[in-house]
Amino acid sequence: MFKPYESDHFFDEMLQQNGTTKLHYQAFHNMINQFSAEELREKHETAQLSFLRQGITFTVYNDNVGTERTMPFDFIPIIVPPDAWSNIEKGMKQRAEALNLFLEDVYKEQNILKDGVIPRELVEQNPNYYREQVGGVDIPLNNHIFLAGIDLIRDQQGTYRVLEDNLRNPSGMSYVYQNRYVMRQVYPEFFNRHSIHSLEHQLSNMHDAVLAHAPKNCGEERDPRAVLLTPGMYNSAYYDHVFLAQQMGIELVEGRDLKVRNGIVYMKTIRGLQQVDIIYRRIDDEYLDPQAFNPDSTLGVEGLLEAYRKGNVAILNGIGNGVADDKAMYAYVPEMIRYYLNEEPLIPNVDTYFMRNEEQRRWALERLDELVIKNVGASGGYDMLIGPHASEEEIAMFKEKILENPSQYIAQPTIQLSRAPAFQDGRFYPCHVDLRIFVMRGDETHVLPGGLSRVALKEGSLVVNSSQGGGGKDTWVLKGVENHAQQSS
Amino acid sequence: MLSRVADSLYWMSRNIERAENNARVLGVQLIQMLEASSEDSLAKYDWEAVIEICGSLYEFNQLYDHFSINNVIDYLAFSEDNGSSILSCIKFARENARVTRDIIPTDLFEVWNDLYLESSNIYIPAGSLREVHHFIKRVKIASLTSQGVIESSMSRGVPYRFIKIAKWLERAEKTTRILNVLSEKSSQDAERADGTNYYYWRSALQLLNGYDEYLKKYPPRMYEKDVLTFLVTDYAFPRSIQYCMDHVREAIIALEGGRVSHYSWRMYAALDRLMDDFDEMKLKSLDVHQISSYLDEFQDRCNDISEVFSQTYYLIEPSHVP
């Protein structure tokens, strides 16, 4: 039933240049060929409906009216062979480690700035650098990054490259689980001939990682109490929060459920106040504590920062991580890896040019139609120019924006994002994909096998964000030895 | 458990129960309307009672410029302006289920989410009673299924007790309200003609799904006192006020591990006072004119209990407590 297509000049996850199926996709290819188009369409509908029924939705706001939507699901998985995965896993651990050392450094000694590896003003003028609030604070395990979501893409040659680091509140882990769950429910046949890494123990690893962050004043005599702090059901990632709290068996709280008294954080229960030791928060820094940050925030908890500074409560991810994951700092991560770890980056960056640098700016302004321009502070695919797809007006508009505010923008070559087949509306066609890898750090570091594959379902589109029409795919990491044994049988 | 979560469980449960009760009342009334079609004036009179039971006549008159069956159906079943319309109850219950879904069984969320998704896309052409009946039936089944999920899969811990207390309180209040509205109508009618009382008391039994059970226990005669005794103090009928309040009490005792603490004594005191006022003897000694005010007082007491309950478990922020 599956018809190969020309893979053109793009790298394709499943097909060779000549249209034949890659080795690690062959078993899967044979499997889908046993289904008729009608069967596949039916299964596709069942899968989509199952997300809605379970309330696995995100909220999209339009003129302040929120609509719940499901993330479109595509059943053709991204399959990662064992050796490729092992390299990604190592690369992600390495990157997260370096980023964490960087955060610890810039909030304490600032050696990397003193040594001139990273321009001082890039850190100190960064709006997400909260030295005043959290500079010099000792935190449990010296760990600022409890959960990182690192977005990978593959270029024309199939090389994995890091596109973006998310060290604040990366979301999407629940989708990894639900994509797998729906796949197993609706397409159980697909799993028969594959041996893939299960996701099962990862949430208990995550729970252990949370609890490893007991604050220094918590003491040995009682078990630390952890909670997940959500902005509430109107947040677009609310389902993610519910899922993680439920799976880890920790309380899901909102700002109004917490109260700080004498530097101790409590939650309001039906039996009165109970002390809270560890907060996995999914509220951004600016809204965390109206006393210390945005005074208008109604989501946060008054006095939280004070409790954090006193070592009475741990906050995950750390406060002030935004200084390390914006698009300007991104370009320096390979340098951080060399500086702190004395290693070469295992997974390279995408080349990045700074518009604040006059020479690089002049070079870029001459070829905006070939480049991708990004606002260093924006995310979710907003305020972004994709040169080859842009109209002359858009290019002119970005030219003005860059000249007006050069340090706000970076330029990158347009990467021919890899593609994978998708099945929507009854037909197969190639779509661009990326992969968000989740790294969990506590006493040990774990990388969730696979991660969230996002797919730009609009044909030809490069934007994979769910708020802009992107969908999800299951991601399979094949097991090493067992897989070879099976293929030979 | 967080007070906010307890509060949400409480309102989820009350709204599930309210959706079912209001759906039943509307359904019974739609059928009675057909049977009583020859007595048109009586029918309008009935509808006013139903509006009072499931909403407010005052609000209805504010929202609609004239009285018609379609307007009544719209008000009771679908209106977004009526916080107790069936659709509003479905929505509130679902919203509260959504913020407690880390606590409630997955099946419960899915049953109610299905109902919500189906009914938010529902289109019922004006006057299509068949469709309205279908909707009512769907709501009742979803409520019954939800209760089944709760009973068969929830541990008998704090969340379970909160859900149950809310359900029994909501039910007791609805029974009181139905009796209150109907006894008023009945006493107004008694001054005009004989025999109509029978009609009201039968209707009370039907609105409370107790007609069949009543007939099993009492001879097939509708005596006012018998019906009242059955719906107010019967210890075995699961919609009688007595039964509901017994179960509220039982759930609170279980929640508190059988102890009375400094923070819970007021709640016990309020419950005891209510039950004292409330035995069969006292009820039987009342004459017809006193029943209405007796029920009024009971309704107030029920509200008191909901409030004391909320305060005991910090469901209301202290600053909001009057």
Contact residues on chain A for B313, CB-CB shorter than 8 A: 270
How does pLDDT run across A141-196, given as a tens digit for each residue? 999 999 999 999 999 889 999 999 999 999 999 999 999 999 998 888 888 878 89
How does pLDDT run across A6-58, given as a tens digit for each residue? 767 789 999 998 889 999 999 999 988 999 888 999 989 999 888 888 888 87
A422 and A369 share one domain: no
Q: Per mean pLDDT, which range of A228-232, B167-171, B291-295 is the poorest?
A: B291-295
Please say which residue of A370, A392, A413 terminates a domain: A413
Per the domain annotation, does A3 fall within a domain?
no
Residue of B nearest to A234 (CA): B99
Residue whose token pair is 């979501």: A149
**How many structural domains compose chain A?**
2
How does pLDDT run across A311-359, given as a tens digit for each residue? 999 999 999 999 999 888 999 999 999 999 999 999 999 999 989 889 9
Per the domain annotation, does A241 fall within a domain?
yes
Does A52 sit within 8 Å of B2, measured CB to CB? no
Q: Which residue has the higher pLDDT, A148 or B215?
A: A148
A255 and A363 share one domain: no
Asked if residue B312 has pLDDT above 90, the reply is no
Does A242 sit within 8 Å of B314, measured CB to CB? no
Does B98 sit within 8 Å of A267, measured CB to CB? no
- The C-alpha angle with vertex A261 and arms to A258 and A263, in degrees rounded to 5, equals 100
Q: What is the CATH number of the domain that holds A367?
A: 3.30.1490.270
ipTM: 0.82
**Residue B37 — pLDDT band, cuts 50, 70, 90?**
low
With an 8 Å Cβ cutoff, is A273 touching chain B? Answer: no
Does A246 sit within 8 Å of B3, measured CB to CB? no
Per the domain annotation, does A6 fall within a domain?
no
A363 and A472 share one domain: no
**Residue A380 — pLDDT band, cuts 50, 70, 90?**
low
A404 and A419 share one domain: no
- Among residues B102, B144, B138, B147, which one has the least CA distance to residue B120? B138
Please state the pTM of the whole predicted model.
0.88
A214 and A360 share one domain: no
A177 and A273 share one domain: yes
**Residue B114 — pLDDT band, cuts 50, 70, 90?**
very high
A366 and A270 share one domain: no
Please say which residue of A373, A397, A413 terminates a domain: A413
A440 and A464 share one domain: yes
A389 and A446 share one domain: no
Per the domain annotation, does A228 fall within a domain?
yes
Asked if residue B322 has pLDDT above 50, the reply is no
A246 and A364 share one domain: no
Does A52 sit within 8 Å of B4, measured CB to CB? no
Q: What is the pLDDT of residue B220?
A: 75
Question: How far apart are the CA of B294 and the nearest CA of chain A, in angstroms?
Answer: 33
A100 and A47 share one domain: yes
A30 and A40 share one domain: yes
Asked if residue B107 has pLDDT above 80, the reply is yes
In this complex, which of A233, A252, A270 lies closest to B314 when CB atoms are compared? A270
Per the domain annotation, does A16 fall within a domain?
no
Q: What is the pLDDT of residue B132?
A: 93
Residue ranges of chain B whose CB lies within 8 Å of a chain A CB: 1-6, 95, 98-99, 101-102, 106, 109-110, 113-114, 117, 158, 313-315
The residue-averaged pLDDT of A403-427 equals 88
With an 8 Å Cβ cutoff, is A201 touching chain B? Answer: no
Single-letter amino acid code for the residue at A341: L
Name the average pLDDT for chain B: 86
Does B3 sit within 8 Å of A257, measured CB to CB? yes
The residue-averaged pLDDT of B136-159 equals 97
Q: Find out whether A354 and A410 touch, Cβ atoms under 8 Å.
A: yes
The residue-averaged pLDDT of A438-458 equals 95
The residue range of the domain holding A111 is: 23-347+415-488
Contact residues on chain B for A268, CB-CB shorter than 8 A: 2-4, 314
Please say which residue of A369, A397, A413 terminates a domain: A413
Per the domain annotation, does A451 fall within a domain?
yes
